[in-house]
A and B are shown apart, each in its own frame.
Chain A
């Protein structure tokens, strides 16, 4: 059983919702990435999404773009990100790690070589934003053979046919993008999320994470009323950029803890 599957099964038994924070690897400094990942876990993360910096992050809003630019200034590439996961694994063999990024750095390394190295490093899932199912059948199959979950996005505009296609090829969890726009936008539509969940659940037994636009304990709690997992990215990056590098670990923990508490409080009701 994959770490991601084990994680969701354990959460299901405990009737808890998954909290999935995102940070960009190398932001604000490469030496801080592993400490930040550990801080996220200490503050209650169930799965960590680690962004791979890319020069042209077409699907990201300004906050995650800036994080990527800071990481790229330190020369952080895909190889470095894999080394960071390897480091993280030295002390944490349980928390699933999902890499999120764009296709080109992967193709530059070579898909097969990348998947082999990701497996060795202890990566559990991959979200390649610009790899829709039609364009990455072989890549997704390679990942699954290596025991890595290919995770796909669904959008408010995804058709039923498309939901079935994504459910067929994806594993680990499905990532529902809760708004029309880029990461970090403010217009989360909770009614849309609630309305879409039954449609997606009809097509898949995979857990469903919801992200893009979740900003605080309240929006997280309300999304978790229908979703299995809550993904938070831009707000965490904002916490990192609001303070000095030395404060990053403490700030991120302080931000995430109340969200964990809110999720657990409402799931006990």
Chain B
């Protein structure tokens, strides 16, 4: 494999990515591109970012050998990267700290964000409080109903949560609305996108901030397991936790990269969120990537038990990794993810986010057919506290 140096100067990963936005946003994106380029090369910026990750987030997050789960599966050893132990309970904070520092360098006093499950909203509200910025979070009104605890969390942190009533009233519509806010208030406002999607430079910038996950794994795995893993497994909605752990491993050709999408009620049911497994390339939210769409090119509504995977697109770098065959993408149903959720609770004493449970489910699927000296590394992107209502409701309980 040639040296991997994507994206190109205009944000393309092969045919994917790019800057597909109205002229009204072009200047703002150019300003951001230049500001991020400066921060990327600035040792002081990087030092402050690392300091915050260590002292505020609690990094490095540990890797943990899930021995009982591995034994139960009867094959490969399953190791878990504990992003759930980060401050705010997920990997999202790595990126919001990075972008908040870029916002500060651009002297923008106001940050906005979109959120689905609410984790990115909470992570944005958190850093806005930390750095003294005004914060507005756009959230689909359907998601607000599903995730009331996170809505309250954001309010406690001083953010204003704006319900979005347009379209399907979920994550994609919140993203549309945040873009509209940005284009209207571009002088004062920095838009903190939560995943590796959107127009350039977002997919690259978010990947860079999240790649601390994989960089730590590269060091931790030899220490703990004596070797690098045979496969790295991560769930993919927009794909930021997966990109974060995959990216430093792209050059390690012996390590398979496996992204796990949400198959919802099954790919055949049409009720899923598996854009790479079941979608077609198209243009949405500023970039070209795989999308779930109908024959007329309208974006279709998605379904997943986990709100964080409920997105009809996916980061353009994943689209490229799929086409170039460097990564594989599979899908796991709601039921399989819930099964893995309960197994991880009972066998390891870890309550995972339903998103991350998709990755655990796939590891449990492939581990039995592997040798006991083989190693799987699962990115446990978040903790499951936010999912108590959903899991209880599926069991017929009123939480």
Binding site for B on A (CB under 8 A): 53-59, 61-62, 65, 69, 72, 77-79, 102-109, 129-132, 134-135, 152-155, 157-159, 162, 166, 177, 180-182, 185
Q: A155 vs B24: C-alpha distance in the bound complex, in angstroms? A: 5
Instruction: Tally chain B residues at the interface, Cβ within 8 Å.
Output: 36
Interface-facing stretch out of B262-270, B289-297, B359-367: B289-297
Interface-facing stretch out of B149-157, B226-234, B252-260, B277-285: B277-285
Q: Lowest 3 CB-CB distances: which A-B pairs, in order?
A: A108-B297, A77-B296, A157-B27
Binding site for A on B (CB under 8 A): 10, 18-24, 26-28, 166-167, 172-173, 176, 179-180, 183-184, 186, 280-286, 291, 293, 295-300
- Nearest chain B CB to A260 CB, angstrom units: 28
Using A69-B167, A77-B296 as known contacts, list a sample of 17 further A-B pairs with CB atoms less than 8 Å apart, ordered by residue number in A.
A55-B300, A56-B285, A58-B179, A77-B298, A103-B282, A104-B293, A105-B296, A108-B280, A108-B282, A132-B20, A132-B21, A132-B22, A132-B26, A135-B18, A157-B186, A162-B26, A182-B184
Q: A249 vs B127: C-alpha distance in the bound complex, in angstroms? A: 52
When distances are taken between beta carbons in the complex, the residues of chain B under 8 Å from A62 are 166
A134 near B286: Cβ-Cβ < 8 Å: no
Q: A62 vs B383: C-alpha distance in the bound complex, in angstroms? A: 36
When distances are taken between beta carbons in the complex, the residues of chain B under 8 Å from A109 are 297
B176 near A152: Cβ-Cβ < 8 Å: no
When distances are taken between beta carbons in the complex, the residues of chain A under 8 Å from B18 are 134-135
B24 near A181: Cβ-Cβ < 8 Å: yes
- Nearest chain A CB to B170 CB, angstrom units: 11
Q: Which of B167, B180, B293 neighbours the largest number of chain A CB atoms within 10 Å of its CB?
A: B180
Q: Given A56-B167, A103-B283, A180-B184, do A130 and B24 touch, yes or no (CB 8 Å)?
A: no
- Nearest chain A CB to B247 CB, angstrom units: 25
When distances are taken between beta carbons in the complex, the residues of chain A under 8 Å from B282 are 103-104, 107-108
A104 near B299: Cβ-Cβ < 8 Å: yes
Q: Given A152-B23, A154-B23, do A56 and B186 touch, yes or no (CB 8 Å)?
A: no
B296 near A59: Cβ-Cβ < 8 Å: no
Q: A56 vs B18: C-alpha distance in the bound complex, in angstroms? A: 18
B26 near A72: Cβ-Cβ < 8 Å: no
B283 near A107: Cβ-Cβ < 8 Å: yes
Q: A157 vs B32: C-alpha distance in the bound complex, in angstroms? A: 14
When distances are taken between beta carbons in the complex, the residues of chain A under 8 Å from B280 are 108
Q: A65 vs B165: C-alpha distance in the bound complex, in angstroms? A: 11
Q: A6 vs B170: C-alpha distance in the bound complex, in angstroms? A: 46
A104 near B297: Cβ-Cβ < 8 Å: yes
Query: Can you name 18 A-B residue pairings with CB atoms under 8 Å?
Result: A54-B297, A58-B179, A59-B183, A65-B166, A72-B298, A79-B296, A105-B296, A105-B298, A107-B281, A108-B282, A108-B296, A135-B18, A135-B20, A155-B24, A155-B27, A157-B28, A158-B26, A181-B184
Q: A196 vs B293: C-alpha distance in the bound complex, in angstroms? A: 39
A135 near B28: Cβ-Cβ < 8 Å: no
- Nearest chain B CB to A250 CB, angstrom units: 29
When distances are taken between beta carbons in the complex, the residues of chain A under 8 Å from B24 are 59, 153, 155, 157, 177, 180-181
Q: Given A54-B298, A104-B299, do A181 and B284 touch, yes or no (CB 8 Å)?
A: no
- Nearest chain A CB to B297 CB, angstrom units: 3
B23 near A132: Cβ-Cβ < 8 Å: yes
When distances are taken between beta carbons in the complex, the residues of chain A under 8 Å from B299 are 55-56, 104
